Amino acid sequence: MSISRNTLPLCAIVSLALLLPSRTVAQETARAPAAAQPPVPYASVSELNGILDQVKQTAQSMQADLGKARIDRWKTDSSTKRQTQANVESIQRNLQSALPDTISQLSNSPEDLLASFKLYRNLDALYDVFGSVVESAGAFGSKDEFQSLSNDMNGLENARRTFAERMQKLTAAKEEELTRLRTEVKTLQAAVPPPPPKKIIVDDTEPPKKPAVKKKPKPATPPTGTTPPASTPQKK
């Protein structure tokens, strides 16, 4: 197993912290009614239970070994000790809160892809942060500390890889089921007779023409600038 010797990026710690559910959200989730789920095959449930048991055992071992680590005695500077201790505290909070919650959600819906992805993301975040602690233990801690934490790292890596393989198979099965349902819908649509064509009536008779309206002639007006002739006075 090879672990990068670079300092753990802050985004990994933030992603691990974000996986901790708030108390309000957890309470609302507990009060929400459970949605009806289709029956899950026994083989799928059995496979998931085996993986979750492995995750639980690894998490318990990680908590115990992290509690035994004497980071204050490591042969390194105080800044590295503080950073490692902060990582350990983040891991412990996740193991005590976020991880059990995601495991419980997936246990209630064994083939739920959203719950599966949430657990995998949690395991992935734990793997990144815990790997930094194991690396620091190998560089600055005792051999016993490094050995026990390395064993935990191997267990976490195996659980993450096994769960990733299950997610891949589950996603492929869901995609196959979706394709089958689409095919059935198309078959049913093809079996339904099309509606009769609509009759279009074309009226090609010409409407009667309206009689032309004659315009009245306008009275003639004298040209501009001329004056009417003066009247001749009559003789008495």
Q: pLDDT digit string (tens) for 152-178?
A: 999 999 999 999 999 999 999 888 888
- What residues make up the domain containing 157? 10-21+41-166
Q: Decide: 98 and 127 in contact? Cβ < 8 Å.
A: no
> Does the residue 124 lie in any domain?
yes
Residue 62: CATH number of its domain: 1.20.120
Asked whether residue 97 carries a pLDDT value surpassing 50, the answer given is yes
> Does the residue 160 lie in any domain?
yes
> Does the residue 46 lie in any domain?
yes
Q: Amino acid identity, residue 61?
A: S
- The stretch 31-59 carries a mean pLDDT of 81
> Does the residue 236 lie in any domain?
no
pTM of the model: 0.64
* Per-residue tokens: 63: 């908590």
When pLDDT is cut at 50, 70 and 90, the band that residue 232 belongs to is low
- The Cα-based distances of 28 to 23, 102, 140, 153, 156 in angstroms read 9, 15, 44, 34, 30
Q: Could you give the number of structural domains in the chain?
A: 1
> Does the residue 87 lie in any domain?
yes
CA dihedral 60, 63, 68, 70 (to 10 degrees): 160
